[in-house]
Structure 1
Amino acid sequence: MAIAALQHLTDPRLAGRIVLKIGSSLLVDGAGCARADWLRSIAGEIADLRAGGQEVVIVSSGAIALGAAKLGLDKGGRATLADAQAAASVGQIALASLWSRSLGTHGLTAAQLLLTLEDLEDRRRYLNAASTLARLLENGAVPVINENDSVATQEIRFGDNDRLAARVAQAARADAVLLLSDVDGLFDRNPAEAGARLVPVVQGIDQSIRAMADGGSASGLGSGGMVSKLQAAEIAERAGIALAIVNGTHRAPIARAAGEGQGTLFLPRRRDGARKAWLGGRLRVKGVVRVDGGCAAALAEGGSVLAAGITAVEGAFERGDLVEIRDPADGALARGLAEYRAEECRALIGRRSAEQAAVLGYAPRAAVVHRDHMVML
């Protein structure tokens, strides 16, 4: 039996390990102060989940909002990158203290992890983070994770904790992700419009689902909107992880969502192997390899990307960098690790295997992107 309804998120047999993402607007009010009553309520729910046999990993926003209030920074600390980094430095101490005290009243030990994009994009660092999470959970701690905004630059940021939560779920080998937000879930159009309807279950994200997303953050405190939540769901669904979006503004929001079935549940599509799930969830693509219809068909049958099927190469990448493979209609087919530098790929466009050694000056590799180092999207 697998997770098929929101009620299953509190069943330890189906969701033995969950990642709980909490947005800034839930934890911090408009004045930059912690919502103490709400925090006590959610800490009690986490304690209940633990008592019921579930392990919980928290991905918590709020550091920038808390720090901005203490430093008196405009626009919630997000006016400039420097403001955000300074606010995060101050606010992260306050955020960690809030969680330590709140969980401590229930006899739970909080552990802080600050991650950057590179920590989960680089394979070795990803495995180190996974090992740390496993050891903390094994010893009964509740990991509390946030992006390390005090050092992250625009180029090396997740930019939102929705996608971070999905990547953490991969690293933690979680069964489900629960995104607590200030919205009820995914609607078929902007929920402010008349006639908008909540979508209770999504079985695979496609263009029709993406068209429903609203890119804005309703509160103005956070950095994520529905677009980032759908991106998180895509990462999760390919790794065999269920993801739910529920309204966290209510008291005891987890119990409410499970009891009333109010929210949107994204069902997992497949469970890739650990390495391919990591590849599919990576966010920094260094280039694009465009292929013809024949190559696209071969990929669907389990083939590799060969030079003869390539029509164009974009970007600057080195061997081993992540590239996206796109079909003639500009649809994303797969992601994989390049076997050649971008310049070499361009030189090989359309070439048959027998020609490649003469072009490159050395014996070519079997493929431009090999199926063993590629994941279909």
Structure 2
Amino acid sequence: MSITDTAQLATARRLVVKVGSALLVERDAPRTDWLASLAADLAMLRANGVEVIVVSSGAIALGAARLGLPRGGRGSLADAQAAASVGQVQLARLWSEALGAHGLVAAQILVTIGDLEDRRRYLNASATLERLVEARAVPVVNENDSVATEEIRFGDNDRLAARVAQAAGADAVLLLSDVDGLYDRSPLLPGATLIERVAGVTPDIIAMADGGSSSGLGSGGMLAKLQAARIAERAGIAMVIANGTGQSPIAALLAGGRGTLFVPQADASARKAWLGGRLAPAGVITVDAGCVAALGKGASLLAPGMTEVHGDFARGDLVAMHGPQGERLGQGLVEYTGAECRAILGLKQDEQAARLGYAPRAAVIHRDHMVRE
């Protein structure tokens, strides 16, 4: 279904609800009363026929409190991994008890970025989510921070929630946070205005983002939420940012509470949506102005338009495309290795064979394996 109003979240077929660390943990202790009220909201949605998936932060904050680690467990990668290992046990128990009080079964799923970046593993995760929902369990998903590294991780559960929504075929994502939504400037500044509806995450919208996490507990911020919105809108999924700090936050939102709705902008094929949502390109190809114009008309990326190649990538890897000023144009699956791309940089097709030693392929990145920003 197409969701064009926050009240329609109550009629979604499948909804992903993301819960931030600042909502679950306060002064090193879990907010059990608040979690109980949220569980009641989720049970209400389930009773109304909405299939619910939860993406929950909080493991690092909970584990850091239990271990007595400084800076909420984020002082170092080792601290974060240790805190996550301890906190994930507590987090799973909290969700199991809160949902169990309403007769709901919680199912824990821990994922790494590779589980959703690799196509086969993505499809496996999708099948698992589907089966759990069919069995009327409530999947509770979190990044597996105990093994994730700084270089290979989502880094925030906002983007993870959007990717989970893709994998689960959800209609909408609700990001519950400690902010009301997207403001036209920092909400701490005088005159800041809440943007209630966004029809496409443009550069002007991105410019409104405040990159920090106001609580200091989480790893996201408004920029991460806007990146999540871009993933969602490309897949035809609505997304809402709303303040979840009060009791029964979903019921409050449905009753007319404030928030920002990001309206879906496209309904890409499943493969294109997966490709557009991938977050870890293996390299960057910079192109000239003529190539930018051609790409804008739906063309493939060809060697004559390339001006720079960065990264040691293999054929079939995900590679980002940048314009002459460094602006991001999109990303796609490359047909050559990084070394081969550098070898044919700027060459016309009849010159490429001599450099490569074999007949060149039709494109460096074919338009069928490419998504534009």
Identify the match of residue 233 of structure 1 among 217, 220, 229. 229
Match of 1:344 among 330, 335, 340: 340
Q: CA deviation at 1:361?
A: 0.6
Q: Which amino acid aligns with 2:7?
A: Q
Say whether residues 1:296 and 2:292 are aligned partners: yes
2:2–2:171 Cα contact (<8 Å) kept: no
Mapped pair 1:17 → 2:14: yes
CA distance in 2, matches of 1:199, 1:58: 25
Q: Is 2:310 aligned against 1:309? A: no
Q: Is the deviation greater in 328-337 or in 346-355?
A: 328-337
How far has the Cα of 1:157 moved from its partner? Answer: 1.1
Separation in structure 1 between the aligned mates of residue 88 and residue 233 of structure 2, nearest angstrom: 30
**Alignment of 1:182 onto 2:208:** no
Whole-angstrom distance in 2 between the partners of 1:350 and 1:62? 49
User: Gapped runs of 5+ residues in structure 1?
Assistant: none
Distance of 1:276 and 1:319 partners within structure 2:
18
- Of stretches 262-271 and 346-355 in structure 1, the one that deviates more from structure 2 is 346-355
Partner of 2:54: 58
**SS where residue 252 of structure 2 aligns?**
helix
In structure 2, C-alpha distance between the alignment counterparts of 1:325 and 1:223, rounded to whole Å? 27
Distance in 2, Cα, partners of 1:329 & 1:270:
27
Q: Distance in 2 between matches of 1:279 and 1:237?
A: 13
Q: Tell me by how many angstroms 1:308 deviates.
A: 1.5
Q: After TM superposition, give the deviation of residue 290 of structure 1 in Å.
A: 1.6
Residues in 2 aligned to 1:223 and 1:311: alpha-carbon distance in whole angstroms: 35
Task: Spell out, residue by residue over 1:111-170, the C-alpha distance to the aligned partner (whole angstroms, 9 max, x if none).
Answer: 000001111111111111001001101111100000001111111111110010011011
Q: Is the contact made by 1:7 and 1:261 (CA closer than 8 Å) also made in structure 2?
A: no
Question: Does 2:148 match 1:170?
Answer: no
CA RMSD of aligned residues (A): 1.1
- Scaled by the length of structure 1, the TM-score of the pair is 0.97
Q: How does 1:206-217 map onto structure 2 within 5 Å?
A: 206-217=202-213
Q: In the aligned structure 1, how far is the partner of 2:218 from the partner of 2:329? A: 31
SS at match of 1:19: strand
Q: Distance in 2 between matches of 1:357 and 1:158?
A: 39
Q: How many angstroms does 1:91 deviate by?
A: 0.7
Question: Do the aligned residues in 2 keep the contact of 1:184 with 1:245 (CA within 8 Å)?
Answer: yes
- Tell me if the contact between 1:287 and 1:313 (Cα under 8 Å) persists in the aligned partners: yes
2:98 to 102, 107, 118: 102
1:7 pairs with 2:7:
yes
Correspondence for 2:23: 26
- Consecutive unaligned residues in structure 2, runs of 5 or more: none
How far apart in 1 are the matches of 2:335 and 2:127?
Answer: 29
Q: Which amino acid aligns with 1:332?
A: R
Q: Supply the AA of the counterpart residue of 1:23.
A: G
SS in 1 for 2:293: helix
Paired residues in the alignment total: 373
- In the other structure, the counterpart of 1:284 is 280
Q: What is the distance in 2 between the residues matched to 1:217 and 1:351?
A: 46
Q: Report 1:185-264 matches (<5 A).
A: 185-264=181-260
Secondary structure of the corresponding residue to residue 375 of structure 1? strand
The CA distance in 1 between the partners of 2:371 and 2:208, in whole Å, is 26
The residue type equivalent to 2:311 in the other structure is: G
Instruction: Name the amino acid aligned to 1:43.
Output: A
What amino acid is aligned across from residue 200 of structure 1 in structure 2?
A: E
Q: Is the 8 A contact 1:239 1:268 kept in 2?
A: yes
Taking the aligned partners of 2:236 and 2:327, their CA distance within structure 1 comes to 22
Distance 1:93 1:55 in 2: 25
CA distance in 1, matches of 2:49, 2:336: 48
Within 5 Å, give how 1:108-147 maps onto structure 2: 108-147=104-143
Which secondary structure does the structure 2 equivalent of 1:113 belong to?
strand
Letter in 2 for 1:273: S
SS at match of 1:222: coil
Partners in 2 of 1:349 and 1:45 — Cα distance?
Answer: 56
Cα distance between partner residues in 2 of 1:330 and 1:68:
39
For 1:216 and 1:290, locate their aligned partners in 2 and report how far apart those are by CA, in whole Å: 29
What is the DSSP-based 3-state SS (H/G/I as helix, E as strand, rest coil) of the residue aligned with 1:156?
coil
SS at match of 1:265: strand
Once residues 74 and 294 of structure 2 are traced to their aligned partners in structure 1, the CA distance between those partners, rounded to angstroms, is: 46
Query: CA offsets per residue over residues 258-309 of structure 1, 9 Å max, x none?
Result: 2214100111110111111111011101111122232222222221111112
Structure 2 residue 280 is matched with structure 1 residue 319: no
2:270 to 263, 270, 274: 274
1 CA distance for matches of 2:152 and 2:90? 24
Contact map agreement 1:5 1:261 (CA 8 A) in 2 = no
Report how far residue 330 of structure 1 moved.
2.6
CA distance in structure 2 between the aligned counterparts of 1:350 and 1:88, rounded to whole angstroms: 47
The equivalent of 2:64 in structure 1 is 68
1:207 CA displacement: 1.6
Q: Distance between the aligned counterparts of 2:221 and 2:159, measured in 1? A: 11
Tell me the SS of whatever aligns to 2:286.
Answer: strand
